[in-house]
Structure 1
Amino acid sequence: MVIKTRTNVYQTTYHLVFVTKYRQSIFTTKEQQNALKIYFQQIANNHEIHIITQEIKSDYAHLLVSFPPHYSISQVVKKLKGSSARYWFMNYPETKSKLWKGHLWSSSYFVGTTGNVSTNMISDYIKNQHNKVPNKNTYHNT
């Protein structure tokens, strides 16, 4: 999905995984899992983050997201994890006692990039550029 803004055009997609502190089963009901999805969506709506899809299990969250290039991955993760924990504990304070020092998320996370073509395809394309003869119509006249 290509997104256009006033200052840039981008197509970035990231797979994020957050796990609960010590992999404690916290989101044990469908109602809790749906609530967390709603919290993530509210946060995303307030910070130019597009959630493409998300799945919540009892002890982790998977999100496929896109966001503008002026945000770093760590900024987006901090927004999603920090704000979701605040929303979560406001609505489910009883779960705090199941967590070490009351932290919802582990301090670590997984991030992977995705794209329309594989890494091997891009690597092959770059390696094959030395065999290409530049087309003078490809470049602007200087």
Structure 2
Amino acid sequence: MDEHIYKRHNKSLLLYHLVFPMKYRREVLTKEIGDSLRLICVGISERYEIQFVEIGYECDHVHFLVQSVPSISVSKLVTLIKSLSARELFKAHPEIKRILWGGNLWTSGYYANTVGQYGNKDVIRKYIENQGKEVEYKKIHGEQLKLWD
């Protein structure tokens, strides 16, 4: 996990920090429900090209650190995780429906952010700015920035 994924025509390392609030920001998640959610995520990983690097939660929202492949967009990733986890949690814990009278586990919104292992925005910006200026850049700054060793 959180290593490069090699496919026939690409190599990728796509990590996302996703946050899903519970519907109405209700305090739904207990330790038992959180444990069920983790098991459900293991099942999702087995069926889809989605790896859950880390899962953390409080009673009214969940944080995921997820790795996936370029063919799965962020919105598809979110939809898959939300729909499958909601369906399975409602099956395993019918008491959740009493807390959430509308029948939805998650709000319609979410937070998504990319996570970089090899450099932040400023490092990558400088790297890109100096493409094609290698000779001039070396004279001023020494060796060219490298994203990977």
Name the TM-score class by shorter chain.
0.7 to 0.9
Equivalent position of 1:96 in the other structure: 97
Find the aligned partners of 1:100 and 1:15 in 2 and give their Cα distance.
28
Find the aligned partners of 2:54 and 2:95 in 1 and give their Cα distance.
28
Choose the corresponding residue for 2:16, options 14, 17, 20.
14
Deviation at 1:37, TM superposition (A): 1.0
Query: 3-state DSSP class of the match of 1:18?
Result: strand
Contact 2:16 2:112 in 1 (8 A): yes
Q: Which amino acid aligns with 1:120?
A: D
Find the aligned partners of 1:48 and 1:98 in 2 and give their Cα distance.
32
Deviation at 1:99, TM superposition (A): 1.3
- Per the normalisation by structure 1, the TM-score is 0.86
Equivalent position of 2:69 in the other structure: 68
Find the aligned partners of 1:23 and 1:85 in 2 and give their Cα distance.
15
Quote the sequence identity (%).
37
Aligned length: 133
Q: What are structure 1's unaligned runs of at least 5 residues?
A: 135-142
Query: 3-state DSSP class of the match of 2:52?
Result: strand
Q: Which amino acid aligns with 2:44?
A: I
Equivalent position of 2:52 in the other structure: 51
Q: Deviations over 1:21-58 (max 9, x none)?
A: 01101012x22111111112211221110111111221
Find the aligned partners of 1:57 and 1:98 in 2 and give their Cα distance.
16
Deviation at 1:100, TM superposition (A): 4.1
Deviation at 1:126, TM superposition (A): 1.7
Q: Which amino acid aligns with 2:106?
A: W
Contact 1:27 1:57 in 2 (8 A): yes
Contact 2:33 2:89 in 1 (8 A): no
Q: Which amino acid aligns with 2:45?
A: A
Alignment of 1:1-142 (within 5 A): 1-28=3-30, 30-115=31-116, 116-129=118-131, 131-133=133-135
Deviation at 1:14, TM superposition (A): 0.6
- Per the normalisation by structure 2, the TM-score is 0.83
Root-mean-square deviation over aligned CA pairs: 1.6
Q: What are structure 2's unaligned runs of at least 5 residues?
A: 137-149
